[in-house]
Amino acid sequence: MSEPERLSKRLIQLLACSRRDAELYIENGWVTVDGQVVEEPQFKVQDQQVVLLPGAVAETLPPVTILINKPEGLGCGLGANSVQQLLTMANHSADDASGIRPLQRHLNRLNLITPLETDASGLLVYSQSPSVVRKLTADGNTLEHEYTVETSGTLADNGLKRLSFGLSYKGVTLPPCKVSWQSENRLRFAIKAVQPGQLRFMCESVGLQVLGMRRLRIGRTGLAKLPVGQWRYLGPNEKF
pLDDT one-digit tens code per residue, 55-65: 999 999 999 99
Strand pairing report for 120-127 and 178-183: unpaired
The CATH architecture annotation of domain 5-52 reads Roll (3.10)
| Positions of CATH 3.10.290.10 in the chain | 5-52
Closest CA to 221 of 150, 149, 95, 122: 122
Could you report the per-residue pLDDT of 175-231, keeping only the tens digit for each? 999 999 999 999 999 999 899 999 999 999 999 999 999 999 999 999 999 999 999
pLDDT > 70? residue 1: no
Q: What is the mean pLDDT of residues 150-162?
A: 95
How much is the mean pLDDT over the chain?
Answer: 94
CATH number (3.30.70.890, 3.50.50.60, 3.40.50.1370, 3.30.70.580) of 65-140+221-233 reads 3.30.70.580
Could you report the per-residue pLDDT of 11-33, keeping only the tens digit for each? 999 999 999 999 999 999 999 99
d(CA 235, CA 238): 5
Class of domain 144-218: alpha beta
Phi then psi for residue 71, to 5 deg, are: -75, 155
What is the predicted pLDDT for the residue at 189? 98
d(CA 77, CA 70): 13
37 SS3 class: strand
89 SS3 class: helix
Distances, alpha carbon 109 to alpha carbons 28, 215, 217, 226, in Å: 16, 24, 24, 23
Amino acid, res. 83: V
Q: Residue 178 pairs with which residues in a beta bridge?
A: 190
What is the Cα 45 distance to its own chain's centre?
A: 34
Helical spans, DSSP H, in the chain:
7-15, 19-27, 130-137, 159-164, 198-205
What is the predicted pLDDT for the residue at 78? 79
pLDDT > 90? residue 160: yes
What is the predicted pLDDT for the residue at 125? 97
| Positions of CATH 3.30.70.580 in the chain | 65-140+221-233
Between CA 161 and CA 167, with CA 145 as vertex, the angle to 5 degrees is: 30
What is the predicted pLDDT for the residue at 3? 84
What is the predicted pLDDT for the residue at 104? 92
pLDDT exceeding 70 applies to what percent of the chain? Answer: 100
d(CA 59, CA 23): 10
Could you report the per-residue pLDDT of 85-144, keeping only the tens digit for each? 999 999 999 999 999 999 999 998 999 999 999 999 999 999 999 999 999 998 888 999
- Burial group, residue 233, by CB count within 10 angstroms (0-12, 13-18, 19+): buried
Q: Are 145 and 191 in contact (CB under 8 A)?
A: yes
The pTM of the whole model exceeds 0.85: yes
Q: What is the mean pLDDT of residues 30-59?
A: 94
Q: How are the residues of the chain apportioned to helix, strand and coil, as percentages rounded to the nearest 5?
A: 20, 30, 45
Q: Are 4 and 43 in contact (CB under 8 A)?
A: no
Which range has the worst mean pLDDT, 39-43, 48-52, 79-83, 168-172?
A: 79-83
Closest CA to 78 of 115, 131, 103, 105: 115
- pLDDT band at residue 77, thresholds of 50, 70 and 90? confident
Q: Are 74 and 81 in contact (CB under 8 A)?
A: yes
DSSP secondary structure code for residue 156 in this structure: P
